[in-house]
Amino acid sequence: MDFTGKTVLVTGGARGIGAGIARAFHSAGANIIVSDVLDREGSELVEELAGNALFLQQDVRDEQRWQQVVEQCADWGGGLDVLINNAGIEAAMPLVDFDADVARRLLDINVVGVLLGMKWAFRSMRPGGIVGKGGAIVNLSSISSQAAAGGMAAYAGSKAAVERATKVAAVEAGKGGYNIRVNCLYPGIIQTDMVDQLIDECVDLGWFGGSDECRSWLTAKTPLGRFGSPEDVAKVTMFLCSDYASFVTGAGVPVDGGFLYG
Residue 189: which residues within 8 A CB-CB, separation 6 or more? 195, 218, 219, 221, 222, 227, 228, 256, 257, 259
Q: How many residues bind ligand NAD (CB under 6 A)?
A: 29
- Binding of ligand NAD at residue 163 (CB under 6 A)? no
- Render 192-219 in DSSP notation, one character per residue: SHHHHHHHHHHHHTTSSSSHHHHHHHHH
11 binds ligand NAD (CB under 6 A): yes
Considering only residues 28, 149, 194, 251, which one is a binding residue for ligand NAD as defined by CB under 6 A?
194
From the list 60, 73, 106, 173, which residue makes contact with ligand NAD (rule: CB under 6 A)? 60
Q: Does 37 bind ligand NAD (CB under 6 A)?
A: yes
The least distance separating ligand NAD from the CB of residue 179, rounded to whole angstroms, comes to: 26
- Segment contacting ligand NAD by CB under 6 A, of 55-63, 70-78, 127-135, 174-182: 55-63
Cβ neighbours of residue 178 closer than 8 Å, sequence gap 6 or more: 122, 125, 126, 127, 134, 172
Say whether residue 23 binds ligand NAD (CB under 6 A): no
- Asked if 61 interacts with ligand NAD (CB under 6 A), we say yes
The total of other beta-carbon atoms located within 10 Å of residue 98's CB is 11
Regarding 109 and contact with ligand NAD (CB under 6 A), the answer is yes
Interhelix angle 63-77/113-125, nearest 10 degrees: 40
Run of H or E residues at 153:
helix 153-175
* Residue 133 three-state SS: coil
Closer CB to ligand NAD, residue 25 or residue 178? 25
Residue positions annotated with a catalytic role? 155
Binding region for ligand NAD (CB under 6 A): 11-12, 14-18, 36-38, 58-61, 86-90, 109, 140, 142, 187, 189-190, 192-195
